[in-house]
Amino acid sequence: GENVEQHPSTLSVQEGDSAVIKCTYSDSASNYFPWYKQELGKGPQLIIDIRSNVGEKKDQRIAVTLNKTAKHFSLHITETQPEDSAVYFCAASQSNTGKLIFGQGTTLQVKP
């Protein structure tokens, strides 16, 4: 079955710097890759996603890149702000199954 590895487990940056979180997946049949942000005491919130027919997607300060050959995808956050501090999860799935396989999570701390 699918396996998703996520790195780093913790990431601390200064406000205004960029943050990059990387994930690798094992199942070449996976074609949908969402990223979720989870704040303390809340459920995961989808922040951006990408499908396998696209190599990059951007939404304001957030971007995701996908390398299907290498089976890895990355989240890029530019101009980080303290409110970006949270746990971020990547996931992979085959879109017709709906089953999301999550990475281990990255705790991002943005220092003011």
Partner 1 sequence: SAVISQKPSRDICQRGTSLTIQCQVDSQVTMMFWYRQQPGQSLTLIATANQGSEATYESGFVIDKFPISRPNLTFSTLTVSNMSPEDSSIYLCSVEDLGYYGYTFGSGTRLTVV
Q: Which of 45, 58, 82, 111 contacts partner 1 by CB under 8 A?
A: 45
DSSP-assigned states of every residue in the chain:
---EEEE-SEEEEETTS-EEEEEEE--TT--EEEEEEE-TTS--EEEEEEETT-SEEEETTEEEEEETTTTEEEEEE-S--GGG-EEEEEEEB-TTT---EE---EEEEEE-
Closer CB to partner 1, 2 or 20, in the complex: 2
Measure CA 98 to chain center. 17
Note whether 112 binds partner 1 by CB under 8 A. no
Q: Which of 64, 88, 103, 108 contacts partner 1 by CB under 8 A?
A: 103
Per-position x/- string for 78-97, each x denoting binding to partner 1 as judged by CB under 8 A, each - no binding: -----------x--------
Q: Which of 34, 64, 85, 110 contacts partner 1 by CB under 8 A?
A: 34
Note whether 98 binds partner 1 by CB under 8 A. yes
Positions touching partner 1 (CB under 8 A) are: 34, 36, 41-46, 49, 89, 98-105
